[in-house]
């Protein structure tokens, strides 16, 4: 009886299909991930146990020195808010109506802005990254509370938009309380504090 010869097969597998799939996934992840927004100041947020995620919100950043910045969710939102400022408060911000289309487009590109409204027309002739460097914080004292006006301008764009406060760990709590007071004065009583997730402590009841 003759021996049955088993034909030798090549061990290499065609990788083309796998390569296709993996690059498809790669493209998907790159496109869906949001890039970290550029900010005029680095803010080191505190940690908490809270696990609520916020996606779209008007974010008010408060840096270490107690300066406030506003971050609207998208470019069209920013431009609409700027228009609202001039329309809803003509006495105070009427000069913002004279901004050119180019200046408004520049405002749309600045993700987080923080400057006196009076300085805006000049600033918007510069490039977005230069504007970031010149941020001085939005005035929010009781005499000239521009922060409250910017928040209301955002609320006119979308009344259901959430408000979130993003403070630095080392911010003096008085600055944050001033922001909270600004919000409650505008009849906004529910908002979020942005934190990172910290593991550890369970509810006291669960431990016992």
The binding site for another protein (CB under 8 A) comprises: 10-12, 15-16, 18-19, 22-23, 25-26, 29-30, 33-34, 36, 45-54, 62, 164, 166-177, 180, 183-184, 187, 189-197, 201-205
Q: How far is the CB of 65 from another protein (least distance, A)?
A: 12
**Dihedral, CA atoms, 51, 53, 57, 59, nearest 10 degrees?**
50
Q: Long-range CB contacts (< 8 A, 24+ apart) of 141-146?
A: 141/178, 145/182, 145/185, 146/116, 146/117
Q: How far is the CB of 204 from another protein (least distance, A)?
A: 5
**Dihedral, CA atoms, 191, 178, 38, 77, nearest 10 degrees?**
60
Q: How far apart are CA 97 and CA 87, in angstroms?
A: 8
Give 126 or 191: the residue with its C-beta nearer to another protein: 191
Question: Do the beta carbons of residue 112 and residue 71 sit within 8 Å?
Answer: yes
Chain centroid to Cα 127, Å, comes to: 19
**The pair of three-digit structure tokens given for residue 60, joined into one six-digit string:** 């008010």
Q: How far is the CB of 171 from another protein (least distance, A)?
A: 4
Give 126 or 186: the residue with its C-beta nearer to another protein: 186
Q: How far is the CB of 207 from another protein (least distance, A)?
A: 9
Q: How far is the CB of 189 from another protein (least distance, A)?
A: 5
CB atoms within 10 A of CB 178: 19
Give 122 or 185: the residue with its C-beta nearer to another protein: 185
Give 119 or 173: the residue with its C-beta nearer to another protein: 173
Give 125 or 196: the residue with its C-beta nearer to another protein: 196
């Amino acid at each position: 009886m003759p021996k049955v010869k088993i034909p030798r097969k090549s061990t290499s597998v065609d990788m083309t299909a796998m390569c296709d799939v993996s690059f498809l996934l790669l493209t998907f992840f790159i496109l869906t991930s949001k890039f970290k927004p550029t900010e005029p100041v680095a803010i080191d947020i505190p940690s908490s146990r809270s696990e609520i995620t916020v996606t779209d919100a008007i974010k008010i950043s408060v840096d270490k020195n107690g300066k406030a910045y506003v971050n609207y969710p998208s470019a069209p939102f920013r431009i609409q808010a700027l228009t609202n400022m001039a329309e809803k408060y003509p006495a105070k911000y009427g000069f913002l109506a004279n901004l050119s289309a180019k200046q408004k487009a520049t405002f749309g590109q600045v993700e987080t802005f923080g400057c006196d409204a009076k300085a805006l027309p000049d600033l918007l002739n510069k490039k977005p990254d230069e504007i970031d460097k010149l941020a001085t914080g939005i005035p929010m004292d009781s005499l000239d509370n521009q922060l409250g006006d910017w928040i209301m301008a955002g609320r006119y764009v979308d009344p259901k938009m959430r408000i979130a406060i993003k403070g630095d760990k080392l911010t003096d709590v008085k600055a944050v309380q001033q922001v909270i007071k600004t919000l409650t004065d505008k009849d906004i009583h529910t908002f979020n504090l942005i934190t990172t997730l910290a593991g550890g402590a369970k509810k006291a009841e669960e431990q016992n």
